[in-house]
Structure 1
Amino acid sequence: MAETQYDVVVIGSGPGGYVAAIRAAQLGLKAAVVEKGEMGGVCLNVGCIPSKAFLHAAEIYTEAKEGKRIGVVADNVTLDFGAVAAYKERVVKQNSNGVAGLLRKNRVDVYKGFGRVSGPNSVTVQGENGEQTLQTRFIIVATGSTPRSLPFAQIDEERILSSTGMLALKEVPKRLVIIGGGVIGVEMATAFHAFGAEVTILEALPRIISIADEEVSDELLRTMTRRGIKIHTNVKVGGVDPTDSGVSVMYTDAEGKEQQVTGDKLLLAVSRAPLTKDIGLEAVGVELNERGYVVTNEYMQTRVPSIYAIGDCVGRTGLAHVASAEGILAVEHIAGHEAHPINYEKVPSPMWCEPQVGFAGLTEAQARERGYDVKVGKFPFTGNGHAAILGQRAGFVKIVAEKQYNEILGIHIIGPRATELLAEAGLALSHEATAESLVNTVHAHPTLYEAILEAAHGLFEGPIHI
């Protein structure tokens, strides 16, 4: 491809990168994307999309086995994990092809290869056909992140797995140990326990999914434990040793006792590291913090005015939809449009464990720590008609509000389809909704999201249906 002068060159084609490039093209800017791997980045290829495909298969498998409770009887329901893996790959391929098609449709040039920032206005691409340099007015760094090993447990993708290795398994391990009870840990525990694995989670903090409201964390712990997943919190992992059949993990439990658990596979679901090394950032003056994340202002602009950064390499949330929003924000700022910085406290956070979790805004504890005079409305799914139809009555909706103006500070959901119900929570928070505005919004019946209305009633006289 002949040398071209671009308005924007994006390094990385994940949910931040490709969205930024398309938005740039929509605004009349000449844009290019540099990608060393498959289109769609980590999220599409080895993250959000394949993991949710596994979780959907797990849900269908579980419902098929339990169908007799509603009169749908299927004998000898079995799992063909090879077919599940093939289904997952089809979904990934469809989405990857879709991203490539969207870029073509919007006339975004794509360069395959490793991209480096070689100057404030240039990106050098090392590809199969050698090296070429792209001249550009602006650069957006969207290089993402990579799984992080532990000092005593190095990921080899054979016995000690990252989420990438977990999603590439060809068979279900009989025993799976997971270090880390965050989003990746509980989602993989949900899927592989449903597939038939004996699952143990080891979490260093006092509770799993610690970013969620404490009552939500407690409810998830109860329901996952009741289903047979072993969860140990407040533990300190001391070592990992390979065995003839798998891997053995030594840890100190919450009472200070030395314990050991052995699995066929060990999943490290502890943290991810930004992919910011060796791409030329510091050489051109871009600031990285002590953990290697790119430092930006509220418009995603680094201290080099022509260079922006978005997504996991910035490290504000690690959420794909936030990376997309950051990409749009960066491009609109570049284009001179009115750009609105992201309020990260109001970003919706979904988790596809079982039961599902979704929340936006402050937890009750965070609201109290900030000095709000707090009131709480709650409603359990046991009182919801559609939850009864589904036979999924575990969980609740919890709304945190402040008393003076009844402003909604946070909405926290654990229960059926919580990741979809989260849409109303996100809208309520982004529009500074009050408890009155939720109560005065007529909710359709029979639906799961009526539980949000009931929780809002709980901020006043009380829910109707309990």
Structure 2
Amino acid sequence: MSEKFDLVVLGSGPGGYVAAIRAAQLKMKVAIVERERLGGICLNWGCIPTKALLRTSEIFHYMSHADSYGLKVEKASFELEKVVKRSRGVSGQLNAGVKGLMKKNKITVVEGTGKLTAPGKLSVTQGDQVRELEAPEILVATGARARDLPFAQADGKRIWTYRHAMTPETMPEKLLVIGSGAIGVEFASFYSDMGADVTIVEMLDRILPVEDADISAHMEKTLKKQGMTILTGAGVEELKSDGKTVTAKIKTKQGKVETQQFSHAIIAIGIVPNTNDIGLEELGIETDRGHIKVDGYGRTNVPGIRAIGDVTGPPWLAHKASHEGVVAIEHIAGNNPHPFETWNIPGCTYSRPQVASVGLTEAKAKEAGHKIKIGNFPFIGNGKAIALGEADGFIKTVFDAETGELLGAHMIGAEVTELIQGYAIARQLESTEEDLMHTIFPHPTLSEMMHESVLSAYGKALHF
């Protein structure tokens, strides 16, 4: 006999559990289905534990350069087991927090593997037990998983995905990172700061290829200065492990194939949506290259079945999934929300230095036909950045020359992942360059560079 609900959510990541909470707030009877741990990949194996690791490497970097601040640290070192334990502890604390939120909002948590069996029906299997759930609305939020190289699957010992890279048993001596998106660059940054010799291989012509070209160029220059080897326009054609080392055949930009040995390798070439064996084909739910096709309210082509988050396609970001979830629930409740759009989603990379952006790059703005004005302001011109010992980086703003619309903002440097939301709010409120120029920014702060970058676009920068 089926258990009846107003809404069943399949997957408890930042899209699924946020949607479930909002639905419960709107007095819906909600069940959420999860086969692993509440919080999904982001909380357990992605956003949160990686930031804990990166915080450790940041502090270790400062310890190793204590003399720059007039401090003395004798031979800074670390215990890898404790580093990993702290990261897992942070994840565990937040997992417990999500459990608490489910209980607080009276959401039924169903453990097991869910599969759509008909519109409005979901079967959940846990061992020998099967539970049948029924609801007029089912929300699919199954997320995504790491993509393997077709010729080399991760073994967890020497060839890693992001999951393996978060719980290393030994510290890599010489590390190969395949792929230079946010995940690849973050792990490269962590392991380099912890002492590994890191090589990044990227098929495209620049690292962080979705970012503005000026940001990518600055990041490559900075990472090389930190000691990393960066190979762009290159590809790994073969990857083999003998249990002790990893041998890679790398085709360089010049077309030469070189054989190199590494202690470990991380595969960070993207993700694959978790759409297998959840009943999509049987119900005729449309997909595009594996991702579920949805409209601005998360609706699929089958009435009563919606989808949100990574399973629906890029950008693959937790905050995008959460917002999609809220929009979908508000729409189910008849509250007439604005349909979800991707034009104003900030992106962040938590490496050293950090990278953050929102809106159009300079190239995309030109492609869209805008006449543009560009503003740039370097960290070296900011008193707070100099005082922090973080004078490397810059902020770039892109405006429509005719209307003053803020088309995009791009940052690289210390704490820019915290600064970017200022520009996201400005874009959401349709602020013009004049609004931003007349806004008073506190001194001394890093945020003053945001103001100066706007002024720079119009030839009015004061401090550089």
TM-score, normalized by the shorter chain, greater than 0.5 = yes
How far apart are 1:241 and its partner, in Å?
2.2
Does residue 189 (structure 1) correspond to residue 213 (structure 2)? The answer is no
**Which residue is 2:84 aligned to?**
85
How far apart are 1:345 and its partner, in Å?
2.2
How far apart are 1:243 and its partner, in Å?
3.6
**Which residue is 1:171 aligned to?**
170
How far apart are 1:245 and its partner, in Å?
2.3
**Which residue is 1:391 aligned to?**
389
**Which residue is 2:461 aligned to?**
463
How far apart are 1:177 and its partner, in Å?
0.3
**Which residue is 2:271 aligned to?**
272
- Which portions of structure 1, spanning 4 or more consecutive aligned residues, are displaced by more than 6 angstroms? none
More off after superposition, 239-248 vs 261-270: 239-248
Does residue 201 (structure 1) correspond to residue 200 (structure 2)? The answer is yes
**Which residue is 1:122 aligned to?**
121
How far apart are 1:342 and its partner, in Å?
2.5
More off after superposition, 100-109 vs 152-161: 152-161
Superposed, which structure 2 residues align to 1:241-320 within 5 Å?
Answer: 241-243=240-242, 245-289=244-288, 291-320=289-318
Residue type of the partner of 2:325? G
- Percent identity of paired positions between Structure 1 and Structure 2: 39
- Structure 1 residues not aligned, in runs of 5+: none
**Which residue is 2:350 aligned to?**
352
Residue pair 2:121, 2:133 contacting (<8 A) in 1 also? yes
Q: Deviations over 1:85-138 (max 9, x none)?
A: 110111010000001101110111000000111111111110146001011110
Residue type of the partner of 1:425? Y
How far apart are 1:179 and its partner, in Å?
0.7
Q: Distance in 1 between matches of 2:71 and 2:3?
A: 61
**Which residue is 2:13 aligned to?**
14
**Which residue is 1:434 aligned to?**
432
More off after superposition, 454-463 vs 381-390: 454-463
Does residue 153 (structure 1) correspond to residue 163 (structure 2)? The answer is no
Q: Deviations over 1:177-207 (max 9, x none)?
A: 0110111110000001111111100000000
Q: Distance in 1 between matches of 2:130 and 2:346?
A: 41
Which TM-score applies when normalising by structure 1? 0.98
**Which residue is 2:420 aligned to?**
422
Q: Distance in 2 between matches of 1:305 and 1:284?
A: 11
Superposed, which structure 2 residues align to 1:310-389 within 5 Å?
Answer: 310-389=308-387
Q: Distance in 2 between matches of 1:437 and 1:183?
A: 32
Q: Distance in 2 between matches of 1:434 and 1:260?
A: 53
Q: Deviations over 1:57-100 (max 9, x none)?
A: 00011111212211221212111111111101110100000011
Residue pair 2:158, 2:243 contacting (<8 A) in 1 also? no
Q: Deviations over 1:23-68 (max 9, x none)?
A: 0001111111000001110111111111111100000111112122
Q: Distance in 2 between matches of 1:210 and 1:55?
A: 22
- Structure 2 residues not aligned, in runs of 5+: none
Which TM-score applies when normalising by structure 2? 0.98
How far apart are 1:237 and its partner, in Å?
1.9
The alignment's C-alpha RMSD in Å is: 1.1
3-state SS, counterpart of residue 292 of structure 2: coil
Q: Distance in 2 between matches of 1:345 and 1:149?
A: 30
**Which residue is 1:446 aligned to?**
444
3-state SS, counterpart of residue 454 of structure 1: helix
3-state SS, counterpart of residue 261 of structure 1: strand
Residue type of the partner of 1:233? T
Residue type of the partner of 1:400? V
Q: Distance in 1 between matches of 2:149 and 2:89?
A: 32
Residue pair 1:182, 1:269 contacting (<8 A) in 2 also? yes
Residue pair 1:282, 1:288 contacting (<8 A) in 2 also? no
Q: Distance in 1 between matches of 2:264 and 2:230?
A: 16
Residue pair 1:54, 1:84 contacting (<8 A) in 2 also? yes
Residue pair 1:145, 1:273 contacting (<8 A) in 2 also? yes
Q: Distance in 2 between matches of 1:186 and 1:238?
A: 20
